[in-house]
Amino acid sequence: MPSEQYYVQNENETYFITSTIVDWVDVFTRPVYRDIIVDSLKYCQASKGLDIYGWVLMSNHLHAIVEAREGFKLSDILRDFKKFTSKKIIEAIKQEPESRRDWLLYRFEYAGKFKTNVNNYKVWQDGNHAKECLTAKFMIEKLSYIHENPVRACIVEVPEHYLYSSARNYVGLKGLLDVKSIY
């Protein structure tokens, strides 16, 4: 069981979170799965009180700097986000032309097999590796880390060229999600 440090402790504070797919499986290599995450984050922003300061979706994990607006709980938002996207990802794997279908379903079914709180498939690892943003310096460091992720992975040469990130927003381009600037 992950230690308490991986979970949100102060519901209305700003957190740097990392949500990771079980076994680090590269799910987000296809647009259909990435779009599930983007659409769900948009919904959480519009209807669940989520504010996003920065984000990046990599092949097997999501980094974000987030907080819950007044009257909402960040842990509830993250729980609902992971539960909903898990179901949608499994549905998409079953419906889309997917060469890795059997393997992906097996990995997610096996990951949930020994968990009493999982019915069929477990897509996300437990926890969100949540780190509270206690200082502006920490928040800016994490934003830079988020935006440099696709560069370090040799996907793009400059952060703003990566579509599934808030780096675009921070250089004046239209991003896939609206973000609150930390500058």
Residues 111-130 have pLDDT tens digits of 998 877 777 899 999 999 99
Count Cβ atoms within 10 A of the Cβ of residue 65 and give its class: 0-12 exposed, 13-18 middle, 19 or more buried.
Answer: buried
The residue among 43, 16, 14 whose CA lies nearest residue 141 is 16
**Mean pLDDT taken over the chain:** 94
Classify domain 4-135 at the CATH topology level. Alpha-Beta Plaits (3.30.70)
- Give the C-alpha separation, 141 to 124, whole Å: 25
- pLDDT per residue over 153-180, tens digit each? 999 999 999 999 999 999 999 999 999 9
For the cut 60, the answer to whether the pLDDT of residue 1 exceeds it is no
Provide mean pLDDT across the span 54-62: 98
Neighbours of 73 (CB within 10 A): 14
